[in-house]
Amino acid sequence: MSADNWIMVISAVIVAVGWFVTGYLNRLQDISQKQLEHRLEALKSFLPVWFSIQRNDAPFAQPDFLPQLENARSNFQLYGYKDEIDLLEGFIKAIEQKNLENANTILAKLVPMVPNRIRKELRINNKRKSH
């Protein structure tokens, strides 16, 4: 084989390897994007629950509260981290036991955690740069 043939073979191998590596990296990026979308959906599903609690002293009397809480619970179970799941389950358990003090304690941890985790997932810095 001549040098020209070797150059063509090596070039073809480099192109093929590059093509496979690019495909693999694109797949990893797609998976990462889907994970982020599901995580954000899970975290955001708690916000309607929180807004219902803020609007009303008796959120359980609202017809849409329990479906919102069930949706948040399902999303946290599927896509949440262990500490997130534990907090939400603790909140639900406290509500079921009518332990308002414990429910409020857990809620005080859960409420700031949700937007902080959303910001963290999106890599949003809480500090703004001054011009």
Domain extents in the chain: 37-121
Instruction: Give the span between the Cα atoms of 65 and 46, in whole angstroms.
Output: 11
Q: Which residue has the tokens 């959906």?
A: 41
DSSP-derived 3-state class of residue 99: coil
Q: Is 128 exposed, middle or buried (0-12, 13-18, 19+ CB in 10 A)?
A: exposed
Q: What local confidence, expressed as pLDDT, does residue 45 receive?
A: 94
Q: CB neighbours (10 Å) of residue 118?
A: 17
Instruction: Give the span between the Cα atoms of 102 and 5, in whole angstroms.
Output: 76
DSSP-derived 3-state class of residue 78: helix
Cα distances (angstroms) measured from residue 18 to each of 15, 28, 30, 68: 5, 15, 18, 47
Q: What local confidence, expressed as pLDDT, does residue 91 receive?
A: 94
81-91: pLDDT as tens digits = 999 999 999 99
Instruction: Give the span between the Cα atoms of 108 and 90, in whole angstroms.
Output: 12
Q: Supply the pTM of this predicted model.
A: 0.74
Q: What local confidence, expressed as pLDDT, does residue 129 receive?
A: 58
Q: What local confidence, expressed as pLDDT, does residue 131 receive?
A: 52
Phi, psi of 89 (to 5 degrees): -65, -40
Residues 48 and 68: beta-carbon distance below 8 Å? yes
Residues of the chain with pLDDT under 70: 126-131
